[in-house]
Structure formats: C-alpha cells, structure tokens
Amino acid sequence: MFLPLLSHAAPGWLTYQLLSAILDHAVKDSKIARNPVVGVDLPRMAITPRRYPTHEQVSDLVDACKGSGTLVLVLAYCGIRWGEAAALPVGRIDLLRGRLEVVEAVVDVRGHMVFGSPKSHQHRSGLVPKFLHEDLKAAMAGQGPGELVFTSPQNEVLRVQNFRPRGFDRAAKSLGLEGLVPHELGHTAASLSIASGANAKAVQKMLGHKSAALTLDRYGHLFEDELDAVAERPNDARARTRAPLGFCGRPRRHRKPLTSANLVPLAGFEPATHGLGNRCSIP
C-alpha cells in the first residue's frame, strides 16, 4: 500500500527513509526477518545554504504578503512548522499565557489533506510574543475553538502549493529573497531566538526537536556567532557593579567635599576624662 507513494517522494534520502520505515514495520509484524536496507551506503546529501531573514526583512515580508502577514509572523517567531500552523485551531491559542499548543499537523498526501500528529509525534507549547496578540485576536475573531486560525480565501485548509503563488513568492522576490519558502521561516524563528539570547534547550523545545543535540547540529554555527556577545555580557555586568577599592580591599566610600556648610565650629578643649589611667587623663 505504501509503494505508490514512492513515486511521489523526493529522490535519494527521502525515498530511502520512507522505504526503510516500511521495512521496519514489516520486521515488527514478523513479515521479514530483518530490514535489508539498514547500513546501505548512500551518497552524501548536498548541503543547501540556509537563509535567515532579519527582523527587518520579516517585517517587510509581512507588509508585502497582504492578507497573510499574521501567518508569516507566526511562522517566523513562534517556531511552528507549516503543517502545524495550517492545522492550528483557535482553541489551542491562549493569549493570556502567551502560548499556543501544537498537537496536530496536516500534510497533503496525493491531493488529500491528512491530519495527524506533529513531526516529532509529541505535543509541545510555543511562545506567542506580545506584539502578535492583537493580530491573532483579529484572525480568531468570530471563530469557534475548533475552527482553524488560518485558512484559504475559500475557507478551506491551507495548501502550501496554493499559498506560495497566491502572493508569498512574489513578495519574497520583491525583497531580494527569491526562492524563499514558508518552511524556511522556521529556521528564521530559531535564528532570531538565538540572537535574542535563547539557549539550545529553549530553542529545542520551541522547535519540537527530540534533543538539544539535534538543535545544535542544525543551528550550532549560530550559537558560535553569539560567543562574542556572550563574552561581553560579564564585562558589562562587572562594570555596573564594580566599585573602586580602598584600604584592605574594601569598597571606597564616596565622601562629601568639605564646605562651610558641613563644618562644625570649634567649641574649646574637651575636659579631661578621669578613670582612663595615665594614657588619657591629665594630672
């Protein structure tokens, strides 16, 4: 039943992964003794340079994608995938907490929109920045908890192959980002979060990766770019808290300069104090 899907899968790695998954199920069902494709040497995957639009470029893209700006912002800042955004119901967004719950995704399988679990097969929470609250309120206005937040102009489930030619591709090209696809906005969410100081564990949870190691494998070079900024933060903190040291290493107190206003006038000699012995008394 899975074999017809092979003709629609991308060549190379994706075909191998699909075939291997099918054979793994066959092993579990005792149809075959072992998976014959395990350990097969595959050609190296070509590494495509990733683009990470800046805050300014995302803002320009939102303006150029008339009518779809809120969806672009969600993809670029909330860390959810296209299929997860297309399957996001109103009831899964809690603006009071600034969270959205990712529990489902939708994928186009040979023309049929199939709903299922997210890519990681785990539910997760995503952050909703405050600047997005009003836009999301407008997008959800008048809709019930079970209705989808983002739909097509015909009020149907969003398909990326229709969304792109409807305006996204032209908007990206007009900004010098020709070839940018909605999926890449997930990488943008990671890069902008890292630039804001998020650590690998936080980015992992936001993107729904199985481990922080996977996050570092994909975005480790972005953390390296932040090393200089990380090194400067202790210097800034030390400069704010450090006081000049005085005698015995104690912080030096700042004394008021002597003026006629704070001088106490002399009132004569203090009488001798008896009882202190020869050290201080006058015979």
Q: How many domains does the chain have?
A: 2
Q: Are residues 67 and 38 in the same domain?
A: no
* Inside any domain, residue 97: yes
Q: Give 224-263 pLDDT, tens digit per residue.
A: 655 565 556 566 666 666 555 555 555 555 555 656 555 5
Q: Using a cut of 0.85, tell me whether the model's pTM lies above it.
A: no
Q: Are residues 7 and 97 in the same domain?
A: no
* Inside any domain, residue 241: no
* Inside any domain, residue 108: yes
Has residue 164 got a pLDDT over 60? yes
* Inside any domain, residue 269: no
* Inside any domain, residue 114: yes
Q: Are residues 23 and 62 in the same domain?
A: no
As a whole number of Å, the end-to-end CA separation of the chain is: 118
- Final residue of a structural domain among 166, 181, 196: 181
Contact of 191 with 222, CB cutoff 8 Å? yes
Contact of 182 with 51, CB cutoff 8 Å? no
- Final residue of a structural domain among 130, 160, 181: 181
The parent domain of residue 5 ranges over 1-47
Has residue 202 got a pLDDT over 80? no
Q: What is the pLDDT of residue 9?
A: 41
Q: Are residues 59 and 42 in the same domain?
A: no
Q: Are residues 62 and 42 in the same domain?
A: no
pLDDT band at 146 (very low <50, low <70, confident <90, very high): very high
* Inside any domain, residue 166: yes
Q: Are residues 42 and 120 in the same domain?
A: no
Of 92-106, 108-122, 197-211, where does mean pLDDT reach its minimum?
197-211
| Rounded mean pLDDT, 192-221 | 64
> For position 64, which CATH number holds?
1.10.443.10
